[in-house]
Amino acid sequence: MNTSDRSGQGLYEVITRLLVGRDLDDFNNKVFRAEDDGAELSRVIVIAMRVLTGRHCPLGTRDMLHEEIKALRKSRNMTVSNYIFKLEDLVSLERWILVDDGNAMGEAEQCRHFSAGMPPDWQMHVVPQQACWTNLRDLQQRYLQIERIKSNKLEDGNLPANTTEIRPWVEIAVDIIGPFGPQRWWAMTIIDTSTMLVEIAAISDCSSAEAARIVNQWWYNRYPRPERCICSHGVEFRVEFQELLQGYAVQRLSTTKNPRANEVIGQVCRTIDDKLRSEQVFTRVEWEKCLSAVMFSFRDQHHMVMSPTPGQAAFGRDMLFDIPAKVSSRLQQEPKDTQAHRTNCQEDDERIFHEYGPDDLVLVAMSDRRTPNTQPYRECPQ
């Protein structure tokens, strides 16, 4: 037996293991009939496989396969490697389609459909205008490189140390929560960022006049005047509310550039939402009672960072028992500094250490706030 016969016999054994039923019977009959005529085994196998291909892959199969390749898309949870495997599996099926059934997809066309299935922002980095990829392997490597860049979100350099300040009645944060229930109740929360003392008041509407009235009545007329006020840029904190801050010479801290600046009041609002989620409120009196109960629980709860409760830190007495509570600003400052340092260390562990040296390129921030939004806010190195 020569080399051609041995290879043909091996191919025959592999194919007979894969075929079943009618296909196996037709294949064996075709091979045995051709062997009796003295034909070469390898050529007989090719002819028999063409017969089976014509049965399972009629004319028009290649067009259907090409449409499936064009419709292939990379999902958000799919890696580029998995996307490549799916494309290669579909392309490999073309070898089993009859030669008379159209033309096979060229490599340049495969590159075009491969890029069409990628996210649009990835395509802009890989396929510029008037450019055509003809090497599928190089294109796949380019997208694999972009995937590694996108997945590596580590930033360079360590963060600066956070500065904490414990000065009661100096800074407040204001926000509006709601709507709650079918009656769509609203409320305003005011918190002192040092003592964590909270005031919660029901409001009739979300206008700036109502917000200014609540802050003036519930805070400015009860507690020492603050120096700073943190609030968002919503419609309820404009016009009359800004006039109120200007009248009391209170500095307004904008949270548009730094949304995390209002994180304290944001956590308070989320906690209030969790506490009132299961309550059924139908009248304004019930709504005010719920807010009063929630406000008392906030004032008497133990703070995880600072030992005293907000009521003890603000009034110097316990909220449940008539006993004095000595609160030291230094004892409050130390755990807060420790927590800030721990948070900084955790964020620095996720960043890449980098120390600038001579001739390093940096991005220069454009500090002019009057710059239009369409202009870049950083100046790239030349």
CATH value at residue 202: 3.30.420.10
Please say if the pLDDT value at position 297 is more than 80.
Answer: yes
- Do 37 and 69 lie in one domain? The reply is no
* Residue 335, in any domain of the structure: yes
> How far apart (Å, rounded) are the C-alpha atoms in residues 248 and 227?
9
- Do 9 and 78 lie in one domain? The reply is no
Choice among 40-49, 154-163, 190-199 with the minimum mean pLDDT: 154-163
Please say if the pLDDT value at position 260 is more than 60.
Answer: no
Which of 330, 358, 172, 193 has the alpha carbon at shortest distance from 253?
172
Find the radius of gyration of the CA atoms of the chain. 36
How would residue 216 be classed by pLDDT, with cut points 50, 70 and 90?
very high
Question: If you average pLDDT over every residue of the chain, what do you get?
Answer: 78
> How far apart (Å, rounded) are the C-alpha atoms in residues 218 and 212?
10
pLDDT of 355? 74
Choice among 5-9, 158-162, 318-322, 351-355 with the minimum mean pLDDT: 5-9
- Do 185 and 303 lie in one domain? The reply is yes
pLDDT in tens, 80-107: 889 988 888 888 878 777 677 778 888 8
Please say if the pLDDT value at position 374 is more than 60.
Answer: no
pLDDT of 241? 92
Name the one residue in this structure whose structure tokens are 């519930």: 218
* Residue 374, in any domain of the structure: no
Paired tokens of 337: 């500094």
- Do 138 and 176 lie in one domain? The reply is no
Please say if the pLDDT value at position 303 is more than 90.
Answer: no
* Residue 163, in any domain of the structure: no
92 vs 250, higher pLDDT: 250
Domain count, the chain: 3
φ/ψ of 381, rounded to 5, equals: -70, 145
DSSP run (H or E) holding 230? strand 228-231
* Residue 302, in any domain of the structure: yes
Mean pLDDT over 311-332 rounds to 80
* Residue 266, in any domain of the structure: yes
Distance linking the first and last C-alpha atoms of the chain: 73
CB atoms within 10 A of CB 352: 11
Please say if the pLDDT value at position 258 is more than 60.
Answer: no
The string of DSSP letters for 308-373 reads S-HHHHHHSB-SSSS-B----HHHHHHHHHHHHHHHHHHHHHTSB-----TT---PEE---TTS-T
Mean pLDDT over 137-163 rounds to 76
* Residue 332, in any domain of the structure: yes
* Residue 354, in any domain of the structure: no
232 vs 159, higher pLDDT: 232
pLDDT of 3? 47
pLDDT of 1? 43
**pTM, full prediction:** 0.52
Paired tokens of 247: 């009248």
- Do 334 and 262 lie in one domain? The reply is yes
pLDDT in tens, 107-149: 888 888 888 888 888 887 776 655 678 888 888 888 888 888 7
- Do 211 and 106 lie in one domain? The reply is no
pLDDT in tens, 59-75: 777 888 888 888 888 88
Domain endpoint, select from 96, 116, 151:
151
- Do 88 and 218 lie in one domain? The reply is no
Name the one residue in this structure whose structure tokens are 């906690």: 271
pLDDT of 262? 65
- Do 222 and 305 lie in one domain? The reply is yes
Please say if the pLDDT value at position 255 is more than 70.
Answer: no
pLDDT of 209? 92
Question: CATH number for the domain including 131?
Answer: 1.10.1200
pLDDT in tens, 8-47: 677 777 777 767 777 777 777 777 777 777 677 777 777 7
- Do 235 and 262 lie in one domain? The reply is yes
Please say if the pLDDT value at position 7 is more than 80.
Answer: no
> How far apart (Å, rounded) are the C-alpha atoms in residues 43 and 275?
79
- Do 79 and 36 lie in one domain? The reply is no
* Residue 283, in any domain of the structure: yes
- Do 26 and 110 lie in one domain? The reply is no
- Do 18 and 84 lie in one domain? The reply is no
Domain that residue 136 falls in: 64-151
